[in-house]
Amino acid sequence: MKSIKGFFLVLCMATVVINGCNTDTSKSHTTESGMTGADSSEGLKKDVLFDPDTTDTIAPPDYAANAADTATASFIRKVLPGILEKQLVGVEPKDRKFVYYQTDLNADGKDELFVGFTGMNWCGSGGCTALLLSADGKLITYFTVVDFPFRIMNEKTNGWNDLVVYSGGANRVLKWNKNKYPSNPSVAPKYRATLGDEPKALGFAEKPYPWFTF
């Protein structure tokens, strides 16, 4: 009889110890900041928006689409000095700024890059300078005397979207000639149809674009 009572006594003590351990381990883990572990991990998932142009007061989400990625801008910044080597002679650092717009013009899955400049070093009475670069940074077309933006048309020529840009007092249509677009839009054929809501590249007069230095 004594052995049976002793057995039940040991069993009861073991039950109390086990329940006590379970109670301790069931408490939520709390960080020093007072947040639970779950709350902290959720906080780490919040996206951080970086301002690509701190010289203006525009919030990062308000910039035009396809024009504000800092990694793309850094890539363009690296290739521009080689392309514009002669044009940069005598240009002050404060005047070495650009905007860009990326889009796939030939449906190959890679974005071409429109790059635009303004200011006395890049613009004259007829318009401004712009570049079209390939996805790997090679110069496709060096445009002169353009008045931004470039409109990207649905129509295609030789597999590339036609472009319409104002130059030489009229809208001009630029068609791909299997190698590049016409460099001097002012002598390209006039575009006589009515323009609609086509996508606009380098439309910084209408939507905010960040300006990048190089």
Q: How far is CA 45 from the centre of its chain?
A: 21
Rounded to whole angstroms, how far apart are CA atoms 186 and 160?
Answer: 20
In the chain, the percentage of residues whose pLDDT exceeds 70 is: 77
Task: Count other Cβ atoms within 10 Å, centred on residue 186.
Answer: 18
Alpha helices in the chain (DSSP H): 2-25, 37-44, 70-83
Mean pLDDT value across residues 17-43:
36
pTM, 2 dp: 0.76
* Confidence bin at 55 (pLDDT 50/70/90): confident
Rounded to whole angstroms, how far apart are CA atoms 14 and 30?
Answer: 29
pLDDT tens digits along 183-201: 999 999 999 999 999 999 9
| Backbone dihedral region for residue 202 (phi beyond 0: left; psi -120 to 50: alpha; all else: beta) | left
Rounded to whole angstroms, how far apart are CA atoms 41 and 53?
Answer: 30
Supply the pLDDT for residue 53: 83
Sequence-distant (≥ 6) Cβ neighbours of residue 188 within 8 angstroms:
167, 172, 173, 174, 182
Q: Is the pLDDT of residue 5 over 90?
A: no
Q: Is the pLDDT of residue 56 over 80?
A: yes
**Could you tell me which residue, 32 or 140, shows the higher pLDDT?**
140
Backbone angles phi, psi at 114, to 5 degrees: -80, 135
Supply the pLDDT for residue 60: 83
Q: Is the pLDDT of residue 32 over 50?
A: no
